[in-house]
Amino acid sequence: MNKNNSKNVVFLGTSLPRECGIATFTQDLLDQFAAIQGFNRPRIIAVNDNESYSYGEQVIHQVDQHSLPDYLEAADLLNLSDTNLLVIQHEFGIYGGESGEYLLPFVERLNIPYLVVFHTVLTEPSRKQRLIMRKLAETSVRVVTMAQSTVHDLHTIYGIDKDKIAFVHHGVPYVETKSRLELKAQYGFTDRKILSTFGFLSPGKGIEYGIEAMQGVIAKHPESLYIIWGKTHPVVKREVGEVYRQKLTALVELLGLNNNVLFVDRLLTQEEVIQSLVMSDIYMTPYLGKDQAVSGTLAYGVGYGRVIVSTPYRYAMEMLAGGRGLLAGFHDSASLEDCILQLLGNPDLITEMEARTLELGTTMMWSEIAKRYAALFEESISSAATLSNRSVI
């Protein structure tokens, strides 16, 4: 695996084609390393749920989420390999044991340095969740969080040394697209004002409040169209089927919004995701969870300079500060409606907000974010080697 003294990095987490946000995140980051000097193409140890997947060559080993011996075997494999650094993509729900506790014996067995990317940082963790994150951080070289607000939380709530914490924005893929007007024409939405939401559907997304808001919106802007892009989350579908989608489609029917709300019920390609954003006049995340520290979909919206209307969950408050969007109340369709009307009635305000958002968004493209990770990986490998040399002395 090693060539020209380039460094070898392995990721632990989910991997495409498994339908999972972390799998997409990992692939996007991994792909950028083809253009970064000093590293061989990173590889993945894929954590599987109860499904089996047809992985590409990037996956060098698989772990059954619920099998502790699999984790120990993976640690042994890494210890015997020429891996310079392991990157653990941490999210509650993808690792085995209570709150993913199987990661603890795994890292205890590791003899190589590792870095943890915390995708979720809860402000009120259970005792077990707090313990797991603190223990993972303790023996890691660095930990990464994707929101500035969570740096403080990792230190005060989880007891992680501030010097060990790095803040790196969620990455956004660069895709060449046509203009907003051209895309609207391509999709058959010429002369429509497009509002959109994309991502896996699940009850916490609060889409029903966005739909209810459309009643008042179309009274003043009948050309408005709210497009909800994406299929039901695989875990939600497995557990309760399409109950949430059926509830939403019934609401559209009840409110007589069939001409103003459109569902695109499938997994989008990366190109379609970006096209859906670029053609949007307003991007919405009416999510219900106030503690949500990171949202990949909101990051994408910022990356492409969209004007965003959102509920004030933590990540939205941070990303939309400085006039990059408008915040509505939780569980409050009237508040969403007010924000939408304020924007649709003021095209100059939309133009101003788009410029402010794009200014931040251009710094969040994966090509830039990958350079930050590469520097962190280099630093982590070097500091681990220094510590190792000291312990030998």
- Side-chain-side CA neighbours of 364 within 13 Å: the count stands at 24
pLDDT by residue (tens digit) across 175-188?
Answer: 999 999 999 999 99
Q: In a structure prediction context, what are the per-residue pLDDT tens digits for the chain, which is 393 residues long?
A: 445 689 999 999 999 999 999 999 999 999 999 999 999 999 999 999 988 999 999 999 999 999 999 999 999 999 999 999 999 999 999 999 999 999 999 999 999 999 999 999 999 999 999 999 999 999 999 999 999 999 999 999 999 999 999 999 999 999 999 999 999 999 999 999 999 999 999 999 999 999 999 999 999 999 999 999 999 998 899 899 999 999 999 999 999 999 999 999 998 999 999 999 999 999 999 999 998 889 999 999 999 999 999 999 999 999 999 999 999 999 999 999 999 999 999 999 999 999 999 999 999 999 999 999 999 999 999 988 776 554 434
Q: Measured between alpha carbons, how far is 178 from 189 in angstroms, rounded to an integer?
A: 14
Please say whether the structural domain 9-171+365-392 has been given the CATH code 3.90.1720.10. no
Decide if 220 contacts 345 (C-beta within 8 A): yes
Query: Domain 180-364 falls in which CATH fold?
Result: Rossmann fold (3.40.50)
Chain region(s) in the chain for CATH 3.40.50.2000: 9-171+365-392, 180-364
* pLDDT at res. 393: 40
Q: Measured between alpha carbons, how far is 325 from 315 in angstroms, rounded to an integer?
A: 13
Nearest alpha-carbon partner for 36 in 59, 54, 9, 69: 9
User: CB-based contacts of 148: which residues, under 8 Å, 6+ apart?
Assistant: 167, 318
Decide if 51 contacts 86 (C-beta within 8 A): no
pLDDT by residue (tens digit) across 327-364?
Answer: 999 999 999 999 999 999 999 999 999 999 999 999 99
Q: Measured between alpha carbons, how far is 205 from 285 in angstroms, rounded to an integer?
A: 7
DSSP assignments along 307-320, one per residue: -EEE---HHHHHHT
What sections of the chain are H helices per DSSP? 21-32, 68-80, 103-109, 127-138, 149-156, 180-187, 207-220, 234-240, 243-254, 270-278, 296-303, 314-319, 333-344, 347-361, 366-392
Nearest alpha-carbon partner for 105 in 69, 138, 134: 69
Which letter, b or e, does each residue of 146-178 get, where b requires 16 or more Cβ atoms within 10 Å of its Cβ?
bbeebbebbeebbebeeebbbebbbbbbeeebe
